[in-house]
Structure 1
Amino acid sequence: MKALILSACCLLGLAACNTSDKSDNLLPIYGNREAVTKTVNGKTVTDTVYHTIPDFETVNQYGKKITRKSLDGSIYVADFFFTSCPSICPIMHRNMLKVYDEFKKSGNVKIVSYSIDPRHDSVAVLKNYADKMGITGNNWWFLQGDKQAIYKLAESYLVAVMEDNKAPGGYVHQGYFVLIDKQKRIRGSYDGTNPEQVANLIKDIKLLQTEPQSMIAQ
């Protein structure tokens, strides 16, 4: 867990300055990568395979099953929270509303918020939470699933979450907004409690929307 937290902090530090470090107007691709050599038409070709978000199975605030495939063709922003959070979650989601309002009429941008307290955060609780925030439609999903599976999934987003009876609300989690491209690759991470970084996230989503077709293939 300490290693995960360190990795995520490093990612956040890089993302915080990526608006000035972008090369050729492209966002960086984060996470591990592997060089894979194969033979194509008798020639040896080396491709780079990037870290991607794996499959998952959850239910949203409308009781609809949501998986990795549900996000096919979409750029999306992910975060981890719980509805009874007394600390950073309210701040995070007030800031996320800015992202929602900016892109709610866009056809290819979504937000997914994974609950880390699925025992309490039932479909009904998530729907009530969304309603209070004024969230409608399918641009922002609040997701509930198997607790251990969600915690494991958080590692794929380079976000640390854990139970801690001594922490406010009984959980510890990092307040990152993680930007994912249409190929399920991590393209940025932003402190969801920091309005300046959330503004950078909005700019980077717009940049990702204009990314050349040559960047689509892994």
Structure 2
Amino acid sequence: MNKKYTYVWVSLIVLIFGIIVVPRIVDRLQSGTVVDMDRMNIVPQEKGLSYVLLNKVKRKVPSFQFINQDSLLISDKDYIGKVYVVEFFFTSCPSICPIMTENIVTLQNYFKDQPDFGVASFSITPDYDTPKVLKQYAKKYGITDIDWHLLTGNKEAVYDLANSGFNIFAAEMPDSPGGFEHSGLFALVDRQGYIRCRLDKFGNPIVYYRGAITREMGKNDYGEEEQISVLQEDIQKLLQE
């Protein structure tokens, strides 16, 4: 083919691409859909909250079975049909746990008339945190919701649930306050047992919510903002699903 005609055809194709395709790409960039739809670790949602993925599969709370502060056997099945918050804590924690508990008590009081709201607090010092100790802790901090279970049991099972089941770090560390290290994060679980979250302003999933910053504090020393307000909003969204 004559080179002249080849150049004409190439120019024509480029022109058509620019007229038809480029404006669409610009529109998607401006609306944020390119960013949102390219995320690998969430299921895009038209509205509501996103599902957290593991190997492209919706991440679900693994099976568990522990004893609560009333010496009752509680499992993941007891939470089916409820929207609940998950945390890992210990009663002798001298640092962030009291703040975390205060934050969840705030949520407990806000959702006091919601029978489908619950909390699962797993002790990372189960040898010390017996049902009796957990009962005293519940009384001290005003834990009254019958669906807020402070859970204790097999130590290995607790740490496996934290680090593998939820990817919420917890470990024994002698040099840390109280001899243990944990992240202070909250997970949010829907009625079917799936871990859910919202997207941040950049379209990234937050996955977990900061639990060691109160609304009154606003921010921590690292400039991270409190997320109890957004957690409260997201609990409400799941309760309305």
Q: TM-score, normalised by structure 2?
A: 0.70
Q: CA separation in 2, counterparts of 1:146 and 1:123?
A: 13
1:164 aligns with 2:186: no
- The residue aligned with 1:4 is none
Q: Answer yes or no: is the 8 Å Cα contact 1:104–1:139 preserved in 2.
A: no
Q: Which amino acid aligns with 1:192?
A: G
In structure 1, runs of 5+ residues without a counterpart are: 1-21, 35-48, 212-218
- The residue aligned with 1:95 is 103
Superposed CA RMSD in Å reads 1.4
Q: CA separation in 1, counterparts of 2:162 and 2:109?
A: 25
Q: CA separation in 1, counterparts of 2:59 and 2:196?
A: 11
For residue 50 of structure 2, the aligned residue among 28, 53, 56 is 28
- In the TM superposition, residue 50 of structure 1 has moved relative to its aligned partner by 1.5
Q: Which amino acid aligns with 1:186?
A: I
Count of residues in Structure 1 that have an aligned counterpart in Structure 2: 176
Q: Give 1 or 2: higher strand fraction.
A: 1
- In the TM superposition, residue 23 of structure 1 has moved relative to its aligned partner by 4.5
Q: Answer yes or no: is the 8 Å Cα contact 1:58–1:67 preserved in 2.
A: yes
Q: Which has the larger radius of gyration?
A: 2
Q: Secondary structure at the match of 2:100?
A: helix
For residue 85 of structure 2, the aligned residue among 48, 57, 77 is 77
1:193 aligns with 2:212: yes
Percent identity, aligned pairs only?
40
- The residue aligned with 2:61 is 53
- In the TM superposition, residue 137 of structure 1 has moved relative to its aligned partner by 4.2
1:126-168 Cα distance to aligned partner (Å, 9 max, x none): 0000011122241311110111101110131220100011111
Q: CA separation in 2, counterparts of 1:210 and 1:102?
A: 15
Q: Which amino acid aligns with 2:134?
A: L
Q: Answer yes or no: is the 8 Å Cα contact 2:69–2:151 preserved in 1.
A: yes
Q: Answer yes or no: is the 8 Å Cα contact 2:108–2:145 preserved in 1.
A: no
- In the TM superposition, residue 31 of structure 1 has moved relative to its aligned partner by 2.9
Bigger RCO (CA 8 Å, 6+ sep): 1
Q: TM-score, normalised by structure 1?
A: 0.77
Q: CA separation in 2, counterparts of 1:159 and 1:30?
A: 14
